[in-house]
Amino acid sequence: MPRIDPAAVLAQLDLEEKASLLSGSGFWHTRAVERLGIPSIMVADGPHGLRKQPGAGDHVGAGDSVPATCFPTAAALGSSFDVDLVRRVGEAIGQEARAQGVAVVLGPGINIKRTPLCGRNFEYLSEDPLVSGVLGAALVDGVQSQGVGTSLKHFAVNNQETDRLRVSAVVDERTLREIYLAGFEHVVRTARPWTVMCSYNRVNGVYASEDPWLLTTVLRDEWQFDGLVVSDWGAVDDPVAAVAAGLDLEMPSSHGGGPTRVTAAVGSGALDESVVDRAVERLLQLLDRVAPGTWAGDGFDEDGHHELARSVAAECAVLLTNDHGLLPLRDDLTRVAVVGEFARSPRFQGAGSSKVSPTRVDDALSALHGRLGEIVQIEFAPGFGVDDPEADEDALRTEAVELAAGADVVLVFLGLPPSFESEGFDRDRMDLPDEQIRLLEAVGGVTDRVVVVLANGGAVTTAPWQHHAGAILEGWLGGQAGGGAIVDVLVGDVDPSGRLAETIPVRLVDTPAFPTFPGRDSEVVYGEGVFVGYRYYDLVDRPVSFPFGHGLSYTTFEYSDLEVDVVNVVGDPDPSADWRGPARITASVRVTNTGERAGKDVVQLYVGAPDTPRPRTVRELRGFAKVALAPGESREVSFTLTERDLSQWSTRAHDWVLEPGRFAVSVGASSRDIRCTAVVTVEGPRPVLPLGRNSTLAEWLDHPVGRGTIEEALRSAPGGDMTPLLADPETLRMLGSFPLTRLVVMLGDAMGDRLVDRLLAEVTGGSE
């Protein structure tokens, strides 16, 4: 495809042609203008593997798609905490997209896991915006390194499937900035995705597709996004309002409806043609960007990608428990019982628009036979049916118990059936299916050598049944090679190095969003604010089954020699980090493999501000690194924290604000397994927050200029000196919360007419 000069081509288009380009052609293609050589390009789903549909196709996944490598889903990738590995997955997906002539891969999805019940959580990376942002950027980097675009999604605050095309997420400004926008900001600023996909939902009452604050003020003006904004499929309610807000491409085709309305709006003067020009130029820029990479026929290394998928899945598996060293499986085993239909019929991906047609599928049962079959007797019982209402659960359970009774170890494969989680609907419970729990209880009644292997996209509760399991291995939805990868971990060929990117609570009712999810009357209130996931559990010290960041290894690691220094570096030497502000703190810690096996650990850096009076989490993840160590090997791991890493969003300043003071810098193996902590002091001027007509007396007194101004006004009040009000602590405490405008009314003429306006003019120079 030839390169395009956007400005030159734009000048030759008439209004109808411009408007036509702002809506797709069919489900998967942009519209062409043949007379000017403007081509149509193809986009395709692909968060964890390419889903290219031949022909007209459909968005919901009902139709077939061409074979492609199905990599572990995002729920698994998040647990890898491995930036380089995730980037390699992106590179492989980009290669397969290019081989199929796909110009843009619709992913990755980096929405926050506000609740474990979101039916699409398997497509999202974490409950933490740093993990989502860093790993999301790695995926974008990997795909786009192959000359194929990405579409960062779903922008923004898309955290449930219930009523997803209408629901309004009611979220305060601080929560938006610190939790739900932070991951997107990181990816946009550091990886520069070629497109961003807006979500279906409304944000504080405004459809994301029509929100100028979201699509223009934040995304383009603040974050300097220079790509194209595309709608999620069917997300546009009003195409004219969408274009005016900053949406560039409506998908899929609106069959002429959108372009007709846009053309009419320009004709009536309701929409300036320059706004249309701007959107068209962005589309032409995308066409120019993808031009060098959009050709089919290169092919890809199918075997190599399958092996990559296997190694990635192994890195994502999380060993939750391992009592009495049940894992790795001993060399002297003679009889292994394998129970659970998922061992034979693996559940390896989610349902909906991300569903891949895999090039092949490995199952754990076959992989076990291939790895141990010559020396170990392996017997299998399905134990339960998967989404099979006619399955005889009693008979299946009886067969499994008889098999388990005489085995050296029992591997029980459990998980969520496809009917339990998918795009399009949310879960109503966190538990495993009842028949699976009954099976595990029965097996646990005849042996205590039980290993549970889980296959699920959303987190499941373990508290009701984990006492029946000596070891629990969370495999997530591990992609087409997940069966072999699980066996690699079970037998010890691979050390388990996955760590939880989301908290596993004891009960669903313990989750912070439980009282408000999924809302009612097309509105959901994010009442928990910034206290999402571990931020909430750690703040209230609520028991959890497994904390954020948790994961065991077959070896052990020791942390020592934590050194933390406060520095002030003007101009961060890392260009990708300029937006975060100057470096403030450096931290280093020594990690040592104290066991007898090689292994990998995820070193996690948390920051807390113990003296901050405002509501603040106990600790927040501010860095992580995955390190591989041989037995006895040590390595120093270093982190740099910037001003942004130490700041909170201020709704008064509408900006990030750093409060000087003490900061606790901690390094650990989870949010609740803190190994080393150092408390340092960051010095500097206190932030000066703006005053306005609604500012309280306390806020005026806290302002470096406002205090003197208000004291002088009270001293020279027409009714006499009123500064004694400020000397009485009880009176000051009572009156401090009053906005000054109301206090003036209460005190009447004693404070003078139009006092607040005059004082504001003195403090602000005439403007609020």
Q: CA-CA distance, 198 to 183, in Å (whole number)?
A: 15
Which residues, 6 or more positions from 748, have their beta carbon under 8 angstroms from its beta carbon?
Answer: none
517-558 pLDDT, tens digit per residue, is 999 999 999 999 999 999 999 999 999 999 999 999 999 999
Question: Average pLDDT in the 679-707 region?
Answer: 86
pLDDT at residue 205 is higher than 80:
yes
Residue 729, Cβ density class (10 Å: 0-12 exposed, 13-18 middle, ≥19 buried): exposed
Which residues, 6 or more positions from 384, have their beta carbon under 8 angstroms from its beta carbon?
Answer: 340, 341, 391, 393, 396, 397, 433, 435, 436, 439
Domain boundaries of the chain, sorted by first residue = 6-293, 302-500, 557-682, 697-764
Q: What is the pLDDT of residue 572?
A: 45
Q: What is the pLDDT of residue 59?
A: 57
Q: Which CATH number fits domain 302-500: 3.40.50.1100, 3.10.450.40, 3.40.190.10, 3.40.50.1700?
A: 3.40.50.1700
> Of 339, 273, 293, 21, nearest to 149 (Cα)?
293
Q: What is the CATH number of domain 557-682?
A: 2.60.40.10
161-196 pLDDT, tens digit per residue, is 999 999 999 999 999 999 999 999 999 999 999 999
Q: Cβ distance 618 to 596 under 8 Å? A: no
> Of 323, 321, 290, nearest to 148 (Cα)?
290
275-312 pLDDT, tens digit per residue, is 999 999 999 999 999 987 666 667 899 999 999 999 99
Q: What is the pLDDT of residue 750?
A: 53
Q: CA-CA distance, 413 to 416, in Å (whole number)?
A: 11
Q: Which residue has the tokens 């001003």?
A: 643
Q: CA-CA distance, 540 to 542, in Å (whole number)?
A: 5
Percent of the chain with pLDDT over 90: 80
Q: Which residue has the tokens 């249309």?
A: 276
86-116 pLDDT, tens digit per residue, is 999 999 999 999 999 999 999 999 999 999 9
Long-range contacts of 578-582 (CB under 8 A, 24+ apart): 579/189, 579/644, 580/642, 580/643, 580/644, 580/645, 581/642, 581/643, 581/644, 581/647, 581/656, 582/642, 582/643
Instruction: Return the higher-pLDDT residue of 59 and 313.
Output: 313
> Of 563, 538, 584, nearest to 678 (Cα)?
563
348-404 pLDDT, tens digit per residue, is 999 888 899 999 999 999 999 999 988 999 999 999 999 999 999 999 999 999 999
Q: Cβ distance 740 to 763 under 8 Å? A: no
Q: Cβ distance 195 to 550 under 8 Å? A: no
444-472 pLDDT, tens digit per residue, is 999 999 999 999 999 999 999 999 999 99
At 469, which amino acid appears? A
**Cα–Cα distances in angstroms (integers) from residue 363 to residues 214, 359, 368, 520, in the given order:** 44, 14, 9, 42
387 is catalytic: no
Q: Cβ distance 717 to 753 under 8 Å? A: no
H or E element, residue 415: strand 409-415
Q: Cβ distance 379 to 365 under 8 Å? A: no
Question: Average pLDDT in the 257-282 region?
Answer: 98
Which residues, 6 or more positions from 682, have their beta carbon under 8 angstroms from its beta carbon?
Answer: 566, 584, 585, 646, 658, 660, 661, 662, 663
Q: What is the pLDDT of residue 575?
A: 47
Q: CA-CA distance, 596 to 613, in Å (whole number)?
A: 46
Question: Average pLDDT in the 584-610 region?
Answer: 96
Q: What is the pLDDT of residue 749?
A: 53
pTM, two decimals, is 0.95
At 367, is the secondary structure helix, strand, or coil?
A: helix
629-659 pLDDT, tens digit per residue, is 999 999 999 999 999 999 999 999 999 999 8
Instruction: Return the higher-pLDDT residue of 695 and 179.
Output: 179
pLDDT band per the 50, 70, 90 thresholds, residue 516? very high
Q: Which residue has the tokens 């209880």?
A: 441
Q: Cβ distance 736 to 725 under 8 Å? A: no
From the list 82, 128, 211, 232, the catalytic residue is 232
Question: Average pLDDT in the 661-670 region?
Answer: 96
**Cα–Cα distances in angstroms (integers) from residue 400 to residues 117, 340, 406, in the given order:** 30, 8, 11
Q: What is the pLDDT of residue 748?
A: 64
Sheet holding 523-525, edge to edge: 206-207, 202-203, 168-170, 523-525
Q: Which residue has the tokens 């036509």?
A: 20
Q: Exposure pattern of 403-414 as b/e (b: 16+ CB <10 Å)?
A: bbeebbbbbbbb
For β-strands 450-455 and 655-657, DSSP reports them as unpaired
pLDDT band per the 50, 70, 90 thresholds, residue 567? confident
Which residues, 6 or more positions from 150, have their beta carbon under 8 angstroms from its beta carbon?
Answer: 104, 105, 107, 108, 139, 140, 143, 144, 193, 194, 195
Instruction: Return the higher-pLDDT residue of 550 and 754.
Output: 550
412-434 pLDDT, tens digit per residue, is 999 999 999 999 999 999 999 99
Q: Per-residue DSSP letters for 258-282?
A: HHHHHHHHHHHTSS-HHHHHHHHHH
At 201, which amino acid appears? N
Provide the angle, in degrees to the nearest 10, between the axes of the packed helices 273-290 and 257-268. Answer: 140
Provide the angle, in degrees to the nearest 10, between the axes of the packed helices 302-316 and 83-99. Answer: 150
Backbone φ, ψ for residue 715 (5° rounding): -65, -35
In this structure, the number of other CB atoms found within 10 A of the CB of residue 672 comes to 19
Task: Report the chain's mean pLDDT, rounded to a whole number.
Answer: 93
pLDDT at residue 683 is higher than 90:
no
pLDDT at residue 757 is higher than 90:
no
Domain 6-293 listed as CATH 3.20.20.300: yes
Rounded-to-10 torsion of CA 707, 709, 711, 714: -140
> Of 637, 610, 613, 635, nearest to 625 (Cα)?
637
